[in-house]
Amino acid sequence: MDIIALEDQAFWELVKRVTDELVAKHGQKALDRWIDGAEAMHLLRIKSPTTLQKLRDTGAIRYSQPEKKIILYDRESIISYIEKHVKNPF
């Protein structure tokens, strides 16, 4: 196993490069803040819409409902939810 250590500034430069490359390759869609349920379920690696609704109802992830049958999820809150549940090795 290789371990790569980066200084804070180098890490953020790398993140910016990757982000810029993704935008150039896939356009703005790769970085849309508001995503539909299917993409939210994909990010969370869940298959049940009921689980997604539970996360929404408990306030675990942010969402917006611009119309009755349209529910959009905040990509950043989903990533934060995943990061919050990270288990560090011993």
Residues in Cβ contact with 77 at an 8 Å cutoff, skipping those fewer than 6 apart: 61, 62
What is the residue-averaged pLDDT of the chain?
89
Residues in Cβ contact with 64 at an 8 Å cutoff, skipping those fewer than 6 apart: 34, 71, 72, 74
pLDDT of residue 60: 96
pLDDT tens digits for range 32-50 = 889 999 999 999 999 999 9
pTM for the whole structure: 0.64
- Nearest residue to 54 via CA among 81, 31, 25: 81
- Which run of H or of E encompasses 63? strand 63-67
Q: How far apart are CA 27 and CA 22, in angstroms?
A: 7
Confidence of residue 31 (pLDDT cuts 50, 70, 90): low
